[in-house]
Structure 1
Amino acid sequence: MLTRTLSVAGLVCGCAAAPLAVAAQTPAAPATATAFATADNANPVLVSSDDWARMAEAGDRYPMFAAERVRVELEVRAAMHAGINVPQPRDLGGGITHEQHKANYKAIAGAGALYRLTGDRAYADFARDILLEYALLYPALGPHPAGRSSVKGRLFWQALNDSVWLVYASQGYDAIRDTLSVEHRRRIDDDVFRRMAAFLSEHNADYFDRIHNHATWATAGVGMTGYVLRDPDLVDRALRGTRLDGRGGFLRQIDLLFSPDGYYAEGPYYQRYALAPFVIFARAIERNEPERGIFRHRDGVLLKAVDGVLQASYGGLIIPINDAMPDKGLDSEEIVTGVAIAYAQTGDPGLLSIAGAQGRTLLSPDGLAI
């Protein structure tokens, strides 16, 4: 659990947020394990149907949550108007095909959330149709034709980006999976998600078992896929590594990549980047297997990591160390995600000042809590 209250002063006066007194904590209600107990259906498991219903009913009463829904609606509606485009991979990062596949995973995630929040089947159908195009494309792909990455992706020039695609697309798929016919579900399960999980964790096992932010994204994507597909073997591989001995995998990364106070081994800039897969996958674990106590692991080091990246800021920007981009700040999507998930777990009121300065939140139970 967090032990410090955070101040928004760093955003206003140009100083890093100072540690303050211990704040009263309001732990989130225990999650309910669902993933492996409901293998015979396709109900959402990353966010429960009840939580989606609560967000749909309450969201309009909260301006920040409502504004985020409008933002996502505009983005997804623009994608729907443009039409489905799932191109043959060709370009390096920043190129046309790279950016299109990146836009597609955002559209899948956004459309899935909007379907649950509005009940409009057009959003579910749109996400389904994108994924069916990937089910046609992905089985025929080999290594990406461009780039010098030591581990090439298939959709992208490096496997890292394939992992990011899987983290976000799995969330959108989870939200719509129960709307699909048995045949469509089978095709998307097998020809998109299982194939991508196998590519990352079997075909590139050494890469998957690394203690590094690229492997964090990979383990998160494979583990979340495991929950969505009701496949405990994939989840176990993600948590304990490909040899299932704990020398690799998500838990080992938590143990080795953070100091006891939550400082990340690769520095503040990469802490900002790596925060997303750590907390998103942890939230999925907590939702489906609360008995693991993932947010208590190593004395709550993942929650301390959210605090740590906020403390490693000055004037709202992440302190630029090593090869950091100097314009990355507390309003980056990864830190918005971290703040929302940490607040939902702790009830720390100091996080609300940061969220207020960020000016946006997530379309999730964590975002509704903010």
Structure 2
Amino acid sequence: MFALRYTFMHSLKTLQSRTFSVGRTCSGSVDMKGRSLLTLKDFNPGEIRHILRVSADLKHRIKHEGQYLPLLQGKSIAMIFEKRSTRTRMSTETGFALLGGHPCFLTPQDIHLGVNESIKDTARVLSSMTDIVLARVYNHSTLEQLVKEASVPIINGLSDLYHPIQILADLLTLQEHYGSLKGLTVSWIGDGNNVLHSFMMSLAKLGVNLRIATPKGYEPDDDVTQEALHLSKQFGTELHLFSDPLEAARGSNVLVTDTWISMGQEDEKKRRLKDFHGYQITMQTGSVAAPDWTFLHCLPRKPEEVDDEVFYSPRSLVFPEAENRKWTIMGLIVCILTDYSPQIPKLKL
């Protein structure tokens, strides 16, 4: 495992002696310019890897080498937030500004989306004034309407069905830690929610196995599960669903959970806490995992989901994971709005 991590870090360090231009276009590079991202279901393995590579490249050049890359100079982004946020807002707002662009933060109190103005009209107005829209919404159908009516790319900042930008951050974090994604096993222990759905639409494409434990009645969406089973078969990975958290954790490299009570489900708290009894991730959960196991959580975290011993342990990658939300949203937007080609070597598969 040390060799894998060394290979990735050595690739980064070899760049330190080079002089960089802001970016260049290379023939044969992955072209995602103008694309929207509502779900990673619509992106192939090469495109996902390219986003991760661009993200790692920007992180190295800006954070570690102190370079200024005004790749988004003269561009603006409309950030629609129906739901409150810490990481999504900060990663997008600071990341877009760091690349020379202008972020515009919009809440239901700021605009008329779906109230005094239709989603159709809002999409057309924002398209005339900004270069891209990120929307964090309750209903996935809102995003689908925005895509239909807008003439600029739309990014899903979270919906009830998917949370793709979170998974990009998770993947970069695991790539950095393990040196390679292929062959890893991720165990999801918790609710069958939007974050899990996004794992299910992406992990198999990168050669990652997935083991899922959810209480009865909290399983992932049936259509998403069927698609995930198809992807697992297509890419030769394993997908297993359990109700026993320890069985799901057995032999896994990565233990992952999320909130059991999402925004809008507060009235279900008492019942949900009862139904998820026994699902808290502890060192006992990790005792059946692989020797190199790590822990992820997209935050905010509550103690009933994972205890302090795991959450603040050296095995926890939650804070690098949170930071990588910034670098991966930057990488994604650069892929969508520019012809930038990363200069970091390709990531080890």
Q: Does TM-score exceed 0.5, indicating one fold? A: no
Hey, which of these two has a bigger chunk of strand by percent?
2
State TM-score, norm by structure 1: 0.29
Hey, which of these two has a bigger chunk of helix by percent?
1
